[in-house]
Amino acid sequence: MPKNTELFNPGCPLVAFGTSSDQKEKLGEVLKFGVQCGFRVLNMSDEHNNETSVGMSLKSLITGGFIARQDLFISFKMTKIQNLRQLEEHISKHLTARSLTYFDLFVIENSAFVEENILKIWRTLENLHLSRLLRNIGLSGFPRKQIENILSVAVIKPFAIQDIFNPFSSNNEISQFCQIHDLLLIGMSPLDNLSSKGKLLTNSFVTEIARNHNASPAQTLLAWAIQSQTLPVVQTLNTDHVKENIMLSDLKLSEKEMRDICQLTQTK
Ligand SMILES: NC(=O)c1ccc[n+]([C@@H]2O[C@H](COP(=O)([O-])OP(=O)(O)OC[C@H]3O[C@@H](n4cnc5c(N)ncnc54)[C@H](OP(=O)(O)O)[C@@H]3O)[C@@H](O)[C@H]2O)c1
C-alpha cells in the first residue's frame, strides 16, 4: 500500500463505506450500522441529496460517544461548482450540512469545473488544505496525463486518485500509475453492479474462488481490490451485506487467484 495509508489509524479496515444512495432515511440507519460494525473510512459526494441524514447519523455516533471524529476518515467528492472563488464557501456548506468541521480527504471530480485550468484549481485546493478545512486533497476520474501535470507542479501531492476499479473495468493502467507514483487508488464500483448488473458477483471464476475460501463473491472481489493495493468503496443498504463487506481480514487470495481474477477483464 502507498506510504500515505500510514495516516489511517492503526488497524483501520482499508475498505470504505459508500454513501451514494438517494434512500436517505435507510442510508442514515445503515451508515450508523456500518460504523458500529467497524467501517471507519466513509466516502461521500455532492451527487446525492442525502446530506441531512448522513449528518444526523454522524452527529448521533459522535456526540453519543460511540466514536470520536478523529477515528473516522471521511472522504468527500465534489462534482459541481460554478466558480472557483466560491469553493471555500461551498465546502463550508457541505461540511455544515453533514455536521462536520473538516474533511479528511477532499476529491475534485474531473468534470467539476468546466472552464477552469486544473493547475489553478489545484493551487486553490492547496490553499484550502493549509486552512485545515481539507486535511488531504485528491482527484477523481482524471486522465493520467493531467495527473502527471499536477504532480509536476504540486506543492501538496494528491493523497489519492479516485476511479472505477474492478476486474471488469480494464483499469490496470491507472492502478500501475498510482503504484509507480505511490498514490492511493480509491476504487469505485468494486462489485461492478451498476455496469455489469451483477455479472461479476455471479461469475463462475469468482464464485469458485469464493467457495474455496468459504467466503462470498463480494468478499472475494473486495479482497482482490485490497490486494491490488486499492481502497475499495462498497455501497450497500443491506445490513447482512454490510457485515459481510467488513469481515475480510482472514481472506488472502493466492497469486494465481489474483491473476485469474485480473484476467476477467478479457471475458467481460
Ligand atoms: N467515479 C466515481 O466516483 C464513481 C464511479 C462509479 C460509481 N460510483 C458510485 O458508486 C456507487 C455504487 O456503484 P456500484 O453499484 O457499481 O458499486 P458497488 O459497490 O460495486 O456495488 C454496489 C451494489 O452491490 C450490492 N452489494 C454490496 N455488497 C454486497 C454483498 N456483500 N453481496 C451482494 N451484493 C452486494 C449492493 O446491493 P445491496 O444494497 O442489495 O447490497 C449494490 O447494489 C454509485 O451509486 C455511484 O454513485 C462512483
CA dist., res. 49 & res. 23, Å (int): 9
CA dist., res. 12 & res. 116, Å (int): 36
Q: From atom 10 of ligand 1, which residue's Cα is the shortest distance away?
A: 189
State the DSSP code for 5.
G
- pTM confidence score: 0.94
Q: Judge whether 258 and 224 are in contact, CB under 8 Å.
A: yes
Atom of ligand 1 nearest to the CA of 237: 39
> How many domains is the chain built from?
1
Q: What is the pLDDT of residue 18?
A: 97
- Give domain status of residue 102, yes or no: yes
Ligand 1 pocket at CB < 6 A: 18, 20, 47, 140-141, 162, 164, 188-194, 201, 216, 218, 234-238, 241, 244-245
List, for residues 28-72, the tens digit of each pLDDT value.
Answer: 999 999 999 999 999 999 999 899 999 999 999 999 999 999 999
- Give domain status of residue 42, yes or no: yes
CA dist., res. 53 & res. 82, Å (int): 25
Q: What is the pLDDT of residue 4?
A: 79
- Give domain status of residue 103, yes or no: yes
Beta-carbon-side half-sphere exposure of residue 149 (alpha carbons within 13 Å): 13
Count other Cβ atoms within 10 Å, centred on residue 204: 8
Exposure string over 218-238, b if 16+ CB within 10 A, otherwise e = bbbbbbbbbbbbbbbbbbbee
- Give domain status of residue 174, yes or no: no
- Give domain status of residue 253, yes or no: no
Q: What is the pLDDT of residue 11?
A: 83
- Give domain status of residue 134, yes or no: yes
Q: What is the pLDDT of residue 111?
A: 85
Q: From atom 22 of ligand 1, which residue's Cα is the shortest distance away?
A: 235
CA dist., res. 99 & res. 104, Å (int): 14
Atom of ligand 1 nearest to the CA of 163: 1
Q: From atom 46 of ligand 1, which residue's Cα is the shortest distance away?
A: 20
Count other Cβ atoms within 10 Å, centred on residue 178: 24
- Give domain status of residue 235, yes or no: no
- Give domain status of residue 168, yes or no: no
**CATH no. for residue 27?**
3.20.20.100
> What domain range includes position 145?
12-158
Divide the 268 residues of the chain into consecutive groups of 10 and give the mean pLDDT of each group: 80 93 94 97 94 96 96 95 87 95 95 80 93 94 92 95 91 87 95 83 95 97 95 97 94 95 79
Q: What is the pLDDT of residue 267?
A: 67
